[in-house]
Amino acid sequence: MKEPYPKNPQEVKGPPSMNIIIPNALQARAICRDVRNNVVAWREKDYGFSCPPEFNSYLEGKVSDEDFDKTFDKWYKSWDPNDEVQRLQNCNPTFQKGVKAYQPLQDWGFFIPDQYNVVITPCSIGIGGGYRLSSTMGPTISMYYRRNWEKGFRTPEGCLLHEAYHIGIEKFILEFGLNQDEKERIVDICSQEALVPSILPKSHLQQSKKIKELSPVIDPFLAMKELPVPERLRRYKNL
């Protein structure tokens, strides 16, 4: 007869926590400047950016840092991030379910931290979020505030889980020397195996020009669902 409890004590690890961070004025301004410094390079990769309308001229390089500081200070004083904090808190149950769906992937090395820091940002590159494996803050997801979210992966939940998958496979992205477009396609395709339709109703596949050109090459390898993701990537890279 199966015993109702293990013979030896064992640690039962709960789901990772979500630590929501609201940047102060200096941090928020630094985020905007980082986006501005990189927006040209990202546009060349067919990526857009998201920001409050007041910041468009700055990110497009039409006004100086000094002029932007005046606009930013006025905007920041009127910014109330409480709605976004509440939205992220409302996302947490679905986010936890999604991370739980990722847990079996740990068998092949998928990384799930004890805590995800989620920073509400005034600006972002891409569809509304980003990630960073910071040596000081730890695994961090940035979320653009007050975005007009859509259904599927463009929901806040979908964006959070998309970035969490990035964090989970980052070491393999670096190991195999994969570029940004390859990375995005891998996350789009492989994350939906765990999430759609049980956690999210549908997926959102990014369709930049370069990704459309890449997909016929990489997708057959990503479709090898019988293999762990690192092995699919190894075969794709012919290693």
Give, for all 239 residues of the chain, the pLDDT tens digit: 333 333 333 333 456 889 999 989 998 898 888 888 887 777 777 776 778 888 888 888 888 989 989 999 988 888 888 878 888 899 899 999 999 999 999 999 999 999 999 998 887 766 578 899 987 888 999 887 555 554 444 678 888 999 999 999 999 999 999 999 999 999 999 999 999 999 998 777 888 888 999 999 999 999 999 999 999 999 999 97
H helices of the chain, in order, are 25-44, 56-59, 65-78, 82-102, 156-175, 180-195, 209-222, 229-236
From the list 21, 163, 160, 187, the residue with the least C-alpha distance to 96 is: 160
Element (H, E) at 130: strand 129-134
- How far are the Cα atoms of 14, 42, 103, 137, 166 from residue 113, in angstroms, in the given order? 11, 28, 11, 12, 12
* Contacts of 238 by beta carbon, 8 Å cutoff, 6+ apart: none
The count of other CB atoms within 10 Å of the CB of residue 207 is 10
| Model pTM score | 0.86
Where are the domains positioned within the chain?
Answer: 81-236
